[in-house]
Amino acid sequence: MQRGTFQLMKSVNKSIILNKIRTSEPISRAQIAKDTTLTPPTVSSIVKELIDQGIVMESELGKSMGGRKPTMLHINSDAYYVVGVDAGPETVACMLTNLSGEVFERISSKVIKPTTNTKFLAVIKENIQKILHTSPIQSEKIIGIGVAMHGVVNVKDGVSQIAPNLGLSNIPIKQELEEAFGLTVRVENDARAMALGESWFGGHGGVHSMVAVNIGRGVGSGIIINKQLYHGAEDIAGEIGHMTIDINGPICDCGNPGCLQTFITGTAIADRAQSKLALENGSNLTGKKVFERAQHGERGYIELLQETGIIIGIGLINLIHLLNPEKIVLGGGVMKGEKFIFPHIKDTIKQRALTSKAKETEITITNLGDDATLLGAVALLLVELFNERQ
- Which domains, ranges and CATH numbers included, belong to the chain? 3-75 (1.10.10.10), 81-197+373-385 (3.30.420.40), 204-366 (3.30.420.40)
Identify the DSSP state of 227.
T
**Mean per-residue pLDDT pooled into runs of 10, the chain (390 residues):** 49 86 89 92 93 89 60 92 94 95 94 95 97 90 95 93 91 97 95 93 86 92 91 89 94 92 95 79 79 93 96 96 96 94 97 96 92 95 72
Pairing verdict, β 327-331 and 210-215 = parallel
Identify the DSSP state of 237.
T
Sheet holding 56-61, edge to edge: 27-28, 71-75, 56-61
Backbone angles phi, psi at 75, to 5 degrees: -75, 135
Angle at CA of residue 196, ends 191 and 326, nearest 5°? 95
Please name which of 22, 104, 138, 49 lies closest in space to residue 374, comparing C-alpha atoms: 104
How many C-beta atoms surround the C-beta of residue 203 within 10 A? 9
Residues 6+ apart with CB under 8 A from 255: none
Please name which of 263, 268, 265, 269 lies closest in space to residue 294, comparing C-alpha atoms: 269
The pLDDT value given to residue 235 = 83
The pLDDT value given to residue 390 = 34
Q: Which amino acid belongs to residue 80?
A: Y
The pLDDT value given to residue 61 = 67
Cis peptide before 41 (omega within 30 of 0): no
Q: Which amino acid belongs to residue 87?
A: A
How many C-beta atoms surround the C-beta of residue 3 within 10 A? 13
The pLDDT value given to residue 357 = 95
Give strand ranges (E) for 25-87. Answer: 27-28, 56-61, 71-75, 81-87
* CB 80, CB 98: distance < 8 Å: yes
The pLDDT value given to residue 68 = 64
345: region left, alpha or beta (phi > 0 left; psi from -120 to 50 alpha):
alpha
* CB 91, CB 373: distance < 8 Å: no
Q: Could you tell me the end-to-end alpha-carbon distance of the chain, in angstroms, rounded to an integer?
A: 26
How many C-beta atoms surround the C-beta of residue 157 within 10 A? 12
d(CA 371, CA 24): 25
d(CA 193, CA 100): 16
HSE-CB at 91 with a 13 A cutoff on CA atoms is 10
State whether residue 304 is helix, strand or coil: helix
Identify the DSSP state of 206.
T
Query: For residue 233, with 0-12 CB atoms within 10 Å meaning exposed, 13-18 middle and 19 or more buried, which class applies?
Result: exposed
CA atoms 44, 50, 54, 56: torsion sign: negative
The pLDDT value given to residue 67 = 57
